[in-house]
Amino acid sequence: MTRSRQFAGAPSLTATVPRQLVHRAAVAETFLTDWRRTGDDRFTVSAQWPRAHGLHVSPDWTAYDPLLVVETIRQAGTLISHTEYDVPLDQQFVLQEFQVDTEADGLGVGPLPAEPEVELVFTDVQYRGRRPAGARYAAYVLRDGKRVATADVAFTCVSGPVYRRLRGGRTAETVTAVPVPDGVPAEAVGRALPTDVVLAPTDRTDRWQLRVHTAHPVFFDHPLDHVPGMLLLESARQAARLSLPAEHPTGAYHAVFHRYGELDAPIWIEVRGGSATEVQVIGLQGESTVFECRVGTALP
């Protein structure tokens, strides 16, 4: 393609991929910019991380939060599923496992937005007829050629009619979330704003109620009929901070998701033991386990 005289010699223009391909409503929450196939079941996805973000950049604008890496990897897997494996846009993705390890020294905010690349290797792609029904993929996040994160992700995807049957008529329009209780102090969980606190205190120091605020513009970028996985991971991060106040999460999250977290019943976040290097966090709703997550910790 011939570039116009106006842009001759200028850097390549960058735009985000269509937001529908990563299941986002807001362009500002779409972090991917391009993708290409590099081999059989291998792909490279380009991204751009903003220098400021209400949730995913530290309040002093010096560091990217590891959960930005998680969201970037999630978006990358969703994008490739739609564009390279022909998963229809109306399919619902069900997250089963998400294991990620990040390198803190690779997540500093620089004078320009970071432009990482995510190398993806899809394995164990399962088909229902001619359409993929689920897969596992490995992800390697590179920044300036240096690996700053690795991940292993497993998911399934179901059609709209099947999803509606699974949800038993629950929709974002018909389900009302429980009232949002007062949260713990924002500084205790490393957040600048009280609206980003996702845990409310209980009469136990190892148990909190999940604060599900469906107006949150990041966790609820669009209406949902269930609690999103990113909110559950943030609750694990905050629980680790509260249970070991002298230590900080390292950016290692090894999570297994067992069932949907429903909006209209309380979810309880508990710390179930730990060690010098990790905390075990579990989410409960009624008698069922919603998810469990091992969060890596270390002295700051």
Contact 134, 162 (CB under 8 A): no
E strands, the chain, are 32-39, 42-47, 92-102, 117-128, 131-143, 146-158, 199-201, 207-210, 248-257, 268-274, 278-285, 288-298
Q: Is 121 in contact with 138 (CB distance < 8 Å)? A: yes
- Environment class of 279 (CB within 10 Å of its CB; exposed 0-12, middle 13-18, buried 19+): buried
> What confidence score (pLDDT) does residue 16 get?
95
CA distance 225 to 231: 14
Identify the pLDDT of residue 13: 62
- What is the pLDDT at residue 6? 42
Q: Which domains does the chain have, with CATH numbers?
A: 5-165 (3.10.129.10), 168-298 (3.10.129.10)
Site of tokens 């290797």: 121
Sign of the alpha-carbon dihedral angle for 124, 130, 131, 133? negative
pTM: 0.93
Count each helix (H run) and each strand (E run) in the chain, helices first. Answer: 3, 12
pLDDT tens string for the chain (300 positions)?
A: 333 344 344 445 679 999 999 999 999 999 999 999 999 999 999 999 999 999 999 989 999 999 999 999 999 999 999 999 999 999 999 999 999 999 989 999 999 999 999 999 999 899 988 888 999 999 999 999 999 999 999 999 999 899 999 999 899 999 999 999 999 999 999 999 999 999 999 999 999 999 999 999 999 999 999 999 999 999 999 999 999 887 788 899 999 999 999 999 999 999 998 777 899 999 999 999 999 999 998 877
